[in-house]
Every structure is written in C-alpha cells, then in structure tokens.
Amino acid sequence: MRMSKAEKAARIQAVLDELHPEVPVPLDHADPYSLLIAVLLSAQTTDARVNLVTPGLFALADTPQAMARASVEEILEEIRTCGLAPSKAKNIHALSRQLLEHHDGEVPRTFEDLEALPGVGHKTASVVMAQAFDVPAFPVDTHIHRLAARWGLSDGKNVEKTERDLKRVFPADAWNRLHLQIIYFGREHCPARSHVLDDCPICSWAATARRKAEERKKAPKRATARDQ
C-alpha cells in the first residue's frame, strides 16, 4: 500500500530520531555572532575547514566591534583556505560594521534583518534563527535538497520549493532538529554518488522504483571477477 507524504515523513522522522538522537551543531561557535560568521564561511566550504580557520579568525576579532576595526586584508589572511575567501572577507567586515551601525552590535533576530546583511542569504539566516535563537526554520543545504528528492518529499526543482515542501510535511517543532539530522544522515548513510538505494535505511523503502532505477543507471558498474 502506497504511503502518503505525511505517513512517509513520520516514518522518516522516526528513523532519524533512532539513528541520530543527538545532533550537535557542526560549526564551532560561542555566540550568535560567531555562529553567523561560521555559517557565512561554510558556503562552498566544508564544516571541518571552517572549524579549522575560525579559531585564528576569532583570535583576531570575536566581536563586531573588533572585526570592524580589522582590515579586510587581515580577515582574508585568516580565512584564505575557505572557498570564495576574498568576497567572504569583504562581507564579514561589511556586515560587522552594519551590525554596529544598525543593530547596536547585536545579531538581529528576524529573517528580514539578517538577510539584509552583506553575504547573508536565506539559508544562512535560517541556520542562525534556528541554532542561535531556536526559532523554527528549515535551512536546506545540498544534502537536504538531494535527500528530499530521493525520498519523494519534494520534486527537487529548487531549494526554495524543497524548503516549502518539507515544512508542509514535518511538524514545526521538529524542523530545527530534522535539519541537522538529515545532514548527518546524508553524510553517514546517503552519499551523492555510488549510493545503493536498496541498502539505505531510508531510501530502501522511501524511494520509488523509478528513482532507484534512475540512480542505478547513473552509478558506475561494479567490477566483476571477469574484470579483474
């Protein structure tokens, strides 16, 4: 019997709660400002890389006041190994000045004000709202976008639609936890390439037969004894 999206979402949530009952925030931070900077740095950069560079960056400046006093060149020197480092250095400096000029040096607590900051898009704002201020949000990264499509919860057209679709099928009080659970699940159980959906704790039953067939066609052929 075919499950509805709501039934499928409930079963997925149960599996994620069992596999990932604890979901620490993967980016090291001490307060909303350091989280905001870390999330900004994480674009096109791994969390592990961000966690390597932020100790040096925050030793240079760990408040908007200190970051605004630092030069863009000094900031860039600390984050050089991150993707898009030059533009990120400029944005970190500019948003720190904007926090001082418009928000009394505090990280704002609304999506609108966060998204008005240099370099801060909807996903970054969503992570800060969820993880710094515990406001229900569902930030969609590449892992979540990919898995929502595999599981038939969204059509994968774009991240904005994926976010809307996931918010529709999961309860709001679980969004912040599920965002992290799906990321951890994607990293540990559900890779982008060479994934055998039939062996996956969720894809094995949540993905459609058509989806499984499509991914089998994309996967590289396994070596056989004759190939050795």
Compute CA distances 26 → 16, 18, 41, 149, whole Å. Answer: 17, 19, 13, 23
Whether 123 sits among the annotated catalytic residues: the reply is: yes
Selected catalytic residue, list 141, 161, 167, 212: 141
Q: How far apart are CA 176 and CA 169, in angstroms?
A: 14
Cα dihedral sign, 112-116-121-125? negative
- Contact residues for 55 (Cβ-Cβ < 8 A; gap 6+): 28
Q: How far apart are CA 147 and CA 100, in angstroms?
A: 39
Query: What 8-state DSSP symbol labels residue 44?
Result: T
Whether 139 and 127 have beta carbons less than 8 Å apart is answered as yes
User: What's the helix, strand, coil split of the chain in %, to 5?
Assistant: 65, 0, 35
Whether 141 sits among the annotated catalytic residues: the reply is: yes
Q: What angle do CA 123, 126, 127 make, to 5 degrees?
A: 90
**Unique residue bearing structure tokens 């599981």:** 151
As annotated, the active-site residues are 123, 141
